[in-house]
Amino acid sequence: MKETKLPRETVEKALSLASLVLEFGQTNRVTHYPDGVTLESDTDHTVMLGIIACAFAKEHAPHLDTGKIAEFALVHDLVEVYAKDTPMFGMKNEAYTKDKEERESLALERIKREYDSVFPWIAETIEEYESLKTPEARFVKVFDKVLPKLVHILNRGVTVKSLGHTRQSTTEFHEYQYEKIKAGYGGDQPEALDLLWAAHLLSDEMLAELEPLWNDQ
C-alpha cells in the first residue's frame, strides 16, 4: 500500500473535523421544519444560508464576491457546536446578548486550540466574518437574520407559537431588528435589507391569518 506524505497530525485532525461537523449537524435550532415537529439543525441552516445568499447575490448584488459569501456562510455558526443555538427573540435583552457572546467566544477559543495547528482557516474565517469589515461579511450577517423568517413562514408559525410569542410581539421584534441592522452593520447592504423587510412582511401576513386560529385551539 502506498504511504501518504501527509503528517499524521493532518490526517487525525481531518478525522476530528469530520466528527465535529457531524456533531454540528446534530445541533438543533429552535426553528421547526414545515412538519411542525422536526427541529432545524445548524447544518440545515448553514446550507440554506450559503445557497440562498450566493444565489441572491449573483442576481441582486453582483459586486460582491460569492466565494467569500460561501466561506462565511459555511463557518458563521460553527461555534454553536459548543455554544449551542441562541434564539433571536431575546436579543433586545443586554444580559441575554452578553451571555451569547461569552459562550461563542469560549467556543471559538476551543476551535482554535483544537484546529489552528493544522487548519487555521476555520478560526481565521470565523474571525473575519465576525469582524464585519468586508461587505460580504455584512451581507451574510443580514441574510442570517432573513432565514428564520423564511422558516417561520414555511412551518406556519409553529416556532413562534411554541416560544410563546404573538403576532404583535413578533412584528415588534422584527421591526426593531430591521431598524437596528439598518442603522448598524447592514446600512450598506440595501439589497439584503430589502429581502429582510420582505420576509418580515410575509411573516406578518402569515401570522395575521393564523393567530385567530391559535386562539380557538
Q: How far apart are CA 188 and CA 96, in angstroms?
A: 27
Taking only the tens place, the pLDDT of each residue in 36-69 is 999 999 999 999 999 999 999 999 999 999 999 9
Tell me the C-alpha distance between 51 and 74, whole Å.
10
Torsion region of 27: left, alpha or beta (phi above 0 gives left; psi -120 to 50 gives alpha): beta
39: helix, strand or coil: strand
Mean pLDDT of 82-98: 75
Whether 192 is covered by a domain: the verdict is: yes
Q: What is the pLDDT of residues 25-41, one digit of tens each?
A: 999 999 999 999 999 99
> Is 64 in contact with 192 (CB distance < 8 Å)?
no
Q: Is 22 exposed, middle or buried (0-12, 13-18, 19+ CB in 10 A)?
A: exposed
Average pLDDT over residues 64-80: 98
How many independent structural domains does the chain possess? 1
64 neighbors 136 (Cβ within 8 angstroms): yes
Residue 81 lies in a domain: yes
Confidence (pLDDT) at 87: 77
Q: Give per-residue pLDDT as tens, 186-205.
A: 999 999 999 999 999 999 99
Per-residue pLDDT tens digits for 144-191? 999 999 999 999 999 999 999 999 999 999 999 999 999 999 999 999
Q: Is the pLDDT of residue 208 over 90?
A: yes
The answer to whether residue 70 scores a pLDDT higher than 90 is: yes
CATH number at residue 203: 1.10.3210.10
Assess whether pLDDT exceeds 90 at residue 86: no
Within a domain: 199: yes
Grid cell locating 70: 460561501
Residue 32 has a pLDDT of: 95
H helix intervals, the chain: 8-25, 42-60, 66-75, 80-83, 94-115, 121-131, 135-154, 158-162, 167-183, 190-216
Structural domain includes residue 2: no
Round the average pLDDT of the chain to a whole number and report it.
Answer: 93
d(C-alpha 154, C-alpha 165), whole Å: 17
**Residue 188 pLDDT:** 97
176 closest CA partner among 96, 98, 89: 89
164, part of any domain:
yes
Domain carrying residue 45: 38-210
Residue 24 lies in a domain: no
Q: Flag the least confident range among 5-9, 96-100, 154-158.
A: 96-100
Residue 31 sits at φ, ψ, to 5 deg, of -80, 150
The CA angle 128-68-149, to the nearest 5 degrees, is: 90
Report pLDDT for 92: 63
Has residue 1 been placed in a domain? no
Helix axes 167-183, 135-154, angle to 10 degrees: 170
Residue 80 lies in a domain: yes
